[in-house]
Structure 1
Amino acid sequence: MKKYDVIIIGAGASGAFASYEFTKLNSNLKVLIIEKGNSIEKRICPIKAGKVESCIGCIPCNIMNGFGGAGTLSDGKYNITTNFGGDIHNYIGKEKAIELMEYVDEVLCSFDDGESKLYTTKSSNLKTVALRHDLHLLEAKVRHFGTDRNIEILKKMYEYVKNNIEIKFNTCCSEVEKNSKGEYIVTTDKGEEFACNHLILASGRSGSKWISKICKQFNIGLLSNQVDIGVRVELPAEVFKHITDEVYESKIVYLTKEYNDLVRTFCMNPYGQVVAENTNGIITVNGHSYANPEFQSENTNFALLVSNRFTEPFKDSNDYGESIAKLSNMLGGGVLLQRFGDLIKGRRSDKKRMEKCFTIPTLKATPGDLSLVIPKRQLDSIIEMIYALDKIAPGTANGDTLLYGVEVKFYNSRVEVDENFETAEKGLYVVGDGGGATHSLSQASACGVYVARYLNSLLKS
């Protein structure tokens, strides 16, 4: 049995940046990463490659898994803030959290051949305009690389770490046990066994169920978290141009009048594309955007999400979100698409109505009726938010605005960890989105850096 100082499960944002930091620190630690997805050069979605028109359920999904995690083929947007995107500051302090996110930004820029712009919402006039209509713009600095450049950046990061960190791709961790020596024994789906004294679980949102299973096995506390349910909105880029040109990513929060529910914009992609992604066999929707004008569309897309927090005795928030996504998959064979005008009139979008639509969809999806999928409360809140956004971006509530469903943001139950992200089980750490403490690329990456520095210092002393 091969032994390591540290084993990391998952090569997503946290795992990738932990591997970078171990390498940069010139650590002599033996580190192994186990990743169920492909190496970065093999992460090609057949839809984007033009081989198929809709999701065929690849296992593993190249959009969700592989080096860099779900963030690799995203739009390459990093929000430097503690106002949203997780609660890492509750563990390490706000000042340290911002410092680490700034460090992550420096690392990414060092691997970037182009000139990316750092946007800020702090001095934006949009905040004032939004407040006049009871909309709240959250402050953040936003670095956007684009899907194309983000992939190249992470390829260079992989080249930087690959000779120092051992990585096993297309490999799943099936079991974790602890022997009489206090070592963690990791068994893979290939029957391999590896031992370590320090184990980092960094499997991201797609590994949330697996992390919960491991935590229950070791009697590690889990706190119920939320699930966000909504739609991906797509409209002509001109509608939001005055906003995206100034701040790029506008995180706008609205409290609905009817239900007092929080609705927020999420993951705004100017001149971008809507994409499908496969999370544990369930097809949901997301958005990407490119830096290269040749790959850009004429549309902007963003999510509208309604936050759902449940009280006792219900604890299965992710199962609730999955059940709604399954309805969409059942009715549409994947992603459903509906014109906003058809939704308001209580009729399904069909092929004929879509042929007359002035907004050309960037994702091939099944025309249908989202009211048959999304619960009334969430759908009413989304509609109210669209009309509110129309006041600061006239045209948002046009009949030809497209709604894709469903978009679901799954959060792992929050794992009980200390200020070093170590659980009550000594030597077992849970980092990034999989632990429920971070919900963004910047915070997940910063979390990986923090734990790598901590372990490097601990094991050298």
Structure 2
Amino acid sequence: MSPNYDVVILGCGEAGIFAAYELTHLHPGLKVLALDQGQDIYHRSCPIVAGKVKECIHCPVCHTMCGFGGAGAFSDGKFNFTTQFGGWLTDFIEPKEVMDLIDYVDSINVAHGATTQCFSTATPEAKALERRALAYDLHLLQARCKHLGTENNLRILTNIYEGLRDKLEFRFNTEVTHIAQADGGYRLTTASGEEISCRYLIAAPGRSGAEWFSNQCKELGLELLNNQVDIGVRVELPASVFEHITDVVYESKLVYRTKQYGDQVRTFCMNPYGHVVAENVEGINTVNGHSYADPALRSENTNFALLVSNRFTKPFNEPYRYGKHVASLSNMLAGGVLVQRFGDLVGGRRTNEHRMSKSFVRPTLTAAVPGDLSLTLPKRQLDNIIEMIYQLDKIAPGTANYDTLLYGAEVKFYSARLQLSAELETALPGFFAAGDGAGVTRGLAQAGASGVQAARAVVRRMG
């Protein structure tokens, strides 16, 4: 029996979107279906962001994580031109080809309204900052970066959606429950019991579908490598503390190896004049950050994540579950996201509402509950974070101030990684994997690039 569709794209996050764009651009005659359990770009509305509630109400499908645009839709839209971070595409593809793919994705964004302004670490000011950081054993990773802005990122995605919606079939609010090989291709079963067949499958499940996708791959007999999770906190402090850094490179990726344990700690997702936000990862409240391009929407604070990388060895094989468990402890104590002043943490005191009221730094996530991070994060990770804060204080005096705020927990889940070809094809013919949820990338740039790579491979097969 002939497949119902030439190609099915599983997930409408960044990887799925650019796979759809490339397929319809290179081969307009293909019959393509894109599925997502969330809403289209016009109907995604988190009750917290909309101001209807202060705390996560655990919607059946998280509007922040699912739908057209994926988890990146409500991010502040950092687009990094680099292979040093943001994914592992260079494990499969030559670095120059990866950069060409990233530039191509950027050109599509620009055509749909993205800025052309870039921040670079190659300027004299950035090089001086790099030298100063090295004096304290802090390593500034090199990359060009665009800041699209939370509001502009949504506008770009809306423009792309409008350009795609008539060129392929989208089905939103559609949960896929099972993937199986069938009839020279693949058969997907939805929660409603419908069966959808295709010749080629591009799986781009996104962060919200990572654990589900891992289980599907195991059932299909695909070998997985799954041994890493990053656990940490989100730091919030006056924007002036990091202004001399963010004005030069905006997204400063600083990496440090602690002296106490020899573990790697890094800054991540820097949001100058930004806002700390909560997000729901499969029922667990974690913390993240946003930053707007419009000055009228900015705050007086800067926030960024401090993450400790954890790699596990056999027999342990559930880092995703481990990370969710750590985050769930703060949920248990605070009913959501927990916040503590740095001075209280190092002094062994719980931050309470009275102490928080005396803080010079006002939290932008007002729903966060004052508490004690030492009761939620493992001691090793917490020791690493404290050491990193004191180290950052040497290049950004004020980082270790008493009233610097720490929100927890911030957990970055690294999805199970598959054995893939240079075309991002799995061991099963015609089955491709792309994006963050498939363990291939970690960020907008490489996620979009991976979608393009998989789509081009399909088009080559189709002729």
* 1:330 counterpart residue number: 332
The alpha-carbon deviation at position 116 of structure 1 amounts to 4.7
Q: How many residues align?
A: 458
d(CA) in 2 for partners of 1:208 and 1:57?
18
Kindly report which structure 2 residues correspond to 1:250-289, keeping only aligned pairs within 5 A, or say none: 250-289=252-291
Query: Which of 320, 323, 327 is residue 321 of structure 1 equivalent to?
Result: 323
Kindly report which structure 2 residues correspond to 1:25-424, keeping only aligned pairs within 5 A, or say none: 25-112=26-113, 115-123=115-123, 124=126, 125-179=128-182, 181-363=183-365, 364-424=367-427
Pairing 1:437–2:440 present? yes
User: Deviation string for 1:357-382 (max 9, x for gaps)?
Assistant: 11111112010000000000000000
Q: Secondary structure at the match of 1:154?
A: helix
Q: Equivalent pairs: percent with the same residue?
A: 56
* 1:11 counterpart residue number: 12
Q: Secondary structure at the match of 1:92?
A: coil
Query: Do 2:289 and 2:304's aligned partners in 1 also have CA atoms closer than 8 Å?
Result: yes
d(CA) in 1 for partners of 2:203 and 2:176?
10
Q: Secondary structure at the match of 2:285?
A: strand
User: Deviation string for 1:286-344 (max 9, x for gaps)?
Assistant: 00110111111111000000000001111111111111011011000010000001101
d(CA) in 1 for partners of 2:239 and 2:371?
24
The alpha-carbon deviation at position 26 of structure 1 amounts to 4.5
The alpha-carbon deviation at position 16 of structure 1 amounts to 0.6
Q: Secondary structure at the match of 1:357?
A: coil
The alpha-carbon deviation at position 424 of structure 1 amounts to 1.1
d(CA) in 1 for partners of 2:193 and 2:162?
28
Q: Secondary structure at the match of 1:85?
A: coil
The alpha-carbon deviation at position 170 of structure 1 amounts to 0.9
Unaligned runs of 5+ in 2: none
d(CA) in 1 for partners of 2:181 and 2:138?
51
Tell me the TM-score normalised to structure 1 length.
0.98
Query: Do 1:198 and 1:427's aligned partners in 2 also have CA atoms closer than 8 Å?
Result: yes
Superposition RMSD on alpha carbons, in Å?
A: 1.2
User: Deviation string for 1:33-76 (max 9, x for gaps)?
Assistant: 11011111111111111111121112211111110110010001
Query: Do 1:118 and 1:144's aligned partners in 2 also have CA atoms closer than 8 Å?
Result: yes
Query: Do 1:225 and 1:412's aligned partners in 2 also have CA atoms closer than 8 Å?
Result: no
Query: Do 2:3 and 2:185's aligned partners in 1 also have CA atoms closer than 8 Å?
Result: no
d(CA) in 2 for partners of 1:28 and 1:240?
51
Query: Do 2:176 and 2:189's aligned partners in 1 also have CA atoms closer than 8 Å?
Result: yes
Query: Do 2:180 and 2:220's aligned partners in 1 also have CA atoms closer than 8 Å?
Result: no
Unaligned runs of 5+ in 1: none
